[in-house]
Amino acid sequence: MSHYADTGFLVSLHTTDANTAAARKRMKRHGGPMPWTSLHEVEFRNAIRLQAFRGQLAREEVGEILHKQAMGLENGVYFPAAPAMGVLSSEF
């Protein structure tokens, strides 16, 4: 079975919010790399920048978070993946 993390889960992993502790616990329990799609790329960046716009993150934090996520791809925390078209078409 393949695991797929939604963007809210990923944002909670990389920031501090009400779901951060649970997200980190689940990620440790999962143990393996998680897929990272082009949708994650767009949604994650937008979510982090929205938090900065709302004053929830400092500008410097945005760069650090985006860098940390990119390092996750390089270090095998995430792996590049394409979303299944059947999944996408069932959402619309």
Q: What is the pTM of this model?
A: 0.83
Q: Which CATH architecture has domain 7-86?
A: 3-Layer(aba) Sandwich (3.40)
Distance, in Å, from the CA atom of 75 to the CA atom of 50, rounded to the nearest integer, reads 26
pLDDT at 88 over 60: no
Identify the helix (H) or strand (E) that includes residue 20: helix 20-30
Structure token pair of residue 46: 């937008």
Q: For residue 53, give both structure tokens.
A: 């716009």
The pLDDT of residue 92 is above 60: no
Task: Look up residue 57 and give its DSSP letter.
Answer: S
Could you read off the pLDDT of 11-64 as tens digits, one per residue? 999 999 999 999 999 999 988 899 999 999 999 999 999 999 999 999 999 999
In the chain the beta strands, taken as DSSP E runs, fall at 34-36, 78-80
CA separation for the pair 84, 86 (Å, rounded): 5
Query: How many Cβ atoms from other residues are within 10 Å of residue 24's Cβ?
Result: 12
